[in-house]
Chains A and B, each alone.
Chain A
Amino acid sequence: MASLESPLTTPPIGSPRRSLAAARLRAARAKFTLATVGGLVFVAALGLARGSHASNPKHRARALAAPPRFVDAVNRNLLQAGVLAPAQAPPEAQTSVS
């Protein structure tokens, strides 16, 4: 007599149908896990690439400017002091407003 198993009823333990359903569930979970991990790896690799590849802008573009300390040092170099001493002879020249 042929088995009258209904598709709506849970197959008994050890039956081929139940084993097949369990296998399909495991396969689906594995696919989901692989897809999730793959997606996360892809996003992480994308972020790392954007952060390290030379052609990708990492900051907003801004005008080139020398650091203030460097500018200050250059300015000081322009305005260097001479060397003075007390007069020791009659002046040969004079400084005055022209």
Chain B
Amino acid sequence: MSSVQRFCAMGCEAVVGGATTAERRAVLALLEQRERTFSRFQPDSELRRVNASPRPAVHVSATFAAAVAAALDAAAATDGRVDPTLLDAIEHAGYDADFATLRPDPRPPGAPAPSARVGVRLAGRVLVRPPGTRLDLGGVVKALAIDDALALLAGPGFVSLGGDLATRGPLDVALPRGGAVRLERGGLATSGSSGRRWSRGGEAQHHLIDPATGRPATSPWAEVTVCGATCLAADVAAKAAFLLGAQGPEWLDRRGLPGRFVAADDAILENASWRAGAARAAACT
């Protein structure tokens, strides 16, 4: 993939490889459209409009409905660990403004907020949810955008956004804390608490909320990287594996998902699927 183009989108650095100029423009337009639709902080975003609506049933756009469906599927596939109804919890932890503007706040975090996922339903493009339930689709929107952007490329290429990526064709990828791997096909995503951190009440907070406690999760891992058939699969699995803590590697192995875990002391653990995948490919070459 010779041509690699970089630009800023959805508050992250986007990297597109193997795209023509027209395809790059289409990718940028798609990412900007997703930003306008799903931003928690743009006052005119569809997410803000839906969350502000007092009606129990709201008609949403096709893009919004697809994201809600993906979020509900992700929640079901992870036994509720990746939950789209934890907006109150993340705001109570202090992430209530654009991350770039967050400053240490001496006030203590707000009360933990429980999940309301079981009451959220989607019937076509009608979203039904319990009164007062607000959605945060950030757990799936970026990965979905990457997969959709990759579909805009006619030939081999890749799309990377804020450290998550999907490729069509082999792509060598640098890994957290050193090392590299070749992604033959699919997506690669890294989730963890080392990136998006802030201070509230003198305590470090992060954006990965444990649905069981309604608080930022406690995990032995700083970062979890997962290889999935799509970026969405990789991202959802990486978040779930982080939240599962010590059970994360085995949970991924049961699903055949390669995972690489970086502990707080920088120790690196690769699960059996990650090691087996690399060894099988090496044996074939």
Q: Are B282 and A81 in contact (CB under 8 A)?
A: no
B236 on the A face (CB < 8 A):
yes
Whether B196 is near chain A, meaning CB under 8 Å from some CB there, is yes
Give chain B residues whose Cβ lies under 8 Å from the Cβ of A87: 172-173, 179-182
Query: Is A14 part of the contact surface with B, judged by Cβ < 8 Å?
Result: no
Chain B residues proximal to chain A, CB less than 8 Å? 1, 4, 12, 15, 17, 73-74, 76-77, 142, 158, 160-165, 170-176, 179-196, 223, 225, 227-230, 233-234, 236-237, 255-258, 273-274, 277-278, 281-282, 285
Contact of B174 among A75, A82, A84, A95 (CB under 8 A): A95
Chain A residues within 8 Å of B171, by CB: 92-93
- A79 and B274 contact, CB distance less than 8 A: no
Contact of A98 with B12 in the complex, beta carbons under 8 Å: yes
Give CA–CA (A71, B233) in the complex, Å: 17
Q: When the two chains form their complex, are residues B233 and A79 in contact, meaning their CB atoms are under 8 A apart?
A: yes
| Interfacial chain B residues near A89, Cβ < 8 Å | 172, 182
| Residue A3, interface by CB 8 Å | no
Could you write out 29 A-B pairs with CB less than 8 Å apart? A75-B77, A78-B76, A78-B77, A79-B233, A82-B183, A82-B228, A83-B277, A84-B258, A85-B182, A85-B282, A86-B282, A87-B172, A91-B180, A92-B1, A92-B4, A93-B160, A94-B160, A94-B163, A94-B175, A95-B173, A95-B176, A95-B190, A96-B176, A96-B190, A96-B195, A96-B223, A97-B176, A98-B163, A98-B164
Taken together as a complex, chains A and B put the C-alpha atoms of A78 and B258 apart, in Å, by 15
Is A83 within 8 A of B185, CB to CB?
yes
Leading 4 A-B pairs by shortest Cβ distance:
A82-B186, A98-B162, A97-B195, A85-B281
Binary interface encoding of chain A residues 41-69 relative to chain B, with 1 for a CB under 8 A from any of its CBs, else 0:
00000000000000000000000000000
User: Are B184's CB and A85's CB within 8 A?
Assistant: yes
A90 contacts chain B at the CB level, 8 A cutoff: yes
> Is B223 a contact of A97 with CB atoms below 8 Å?
yes
How many residue pairs at the A-B interface have CB separations less than 8 Å? 149
Report the minimum CB–CB distance from B69 to chain A (whole Å): 11
- C-alpha spacing A54/B160, complex, angstroms: 56
Structural contact, B165 and A93, CB atoms closer than 8 A? yes
Task: Please give 17 more A-B residue pairs, beta carbons under 8 A apart, in addition to A78-B73, A95-B188, A97-B163.
Answer: A71-B76, A79-B257, A81-B257, A81-B273, A82-B184, A82-B233, A83-B277, A84-B258, A85-B170, A85-B277, A85-B285, A87-B172, A92-B1, A93-B171, A94-B175, A95-B176, A97-B192
The chain A residue with its CB closest to the CB of B237 is A79
Is the CB of A15 closer than 8 A to any CB of chain B? no
Closest chain-B Cβ to A86's Cβ sits at a distance in Å of: 5
Contact of B188 among A82, A86, A97 (CB under 8 A): A82
Query: Given A78, A93, A97, which contacts B196 in the complex, CB threshold below 8 Å?
Result: A97
Task: Write out the residue numbers on chain A whose beta carbons fall within 8 Å of the beta carbon of B74.
Answer: 78
Contact B186 A91 (CB under 8 A): no
CA distance A92 to B18 in the complex (A): 11
Q: A9 within 8 Å of B by Cβ? A: no
Provide the bound-state CA to CA distance between A94 and B177, in Å. 11
- Answer yes or no: A10 CB below 8 A from chain B CBs: no
A88 CB within 8 Å of chain B: yes
On chain A, the residues within 8 Å of B187 by CB distance are 82
Instruction: Please tell me if the beta carbons of B227 and A84 are within 8 angstroms of each other in the complex.
Output: yes
Q: Which residue of A lies closest to B194 (CB)?
A: A97
CA A82 – CA B224 in complex, angstroms?
A: 16
A24 to chain B minimum Cβ distance, whole angstroms, is 73
- When distances are taken between beta carbons in the complex, the residues of chain A under 8 Å from B76 are 71, 74-75, 78
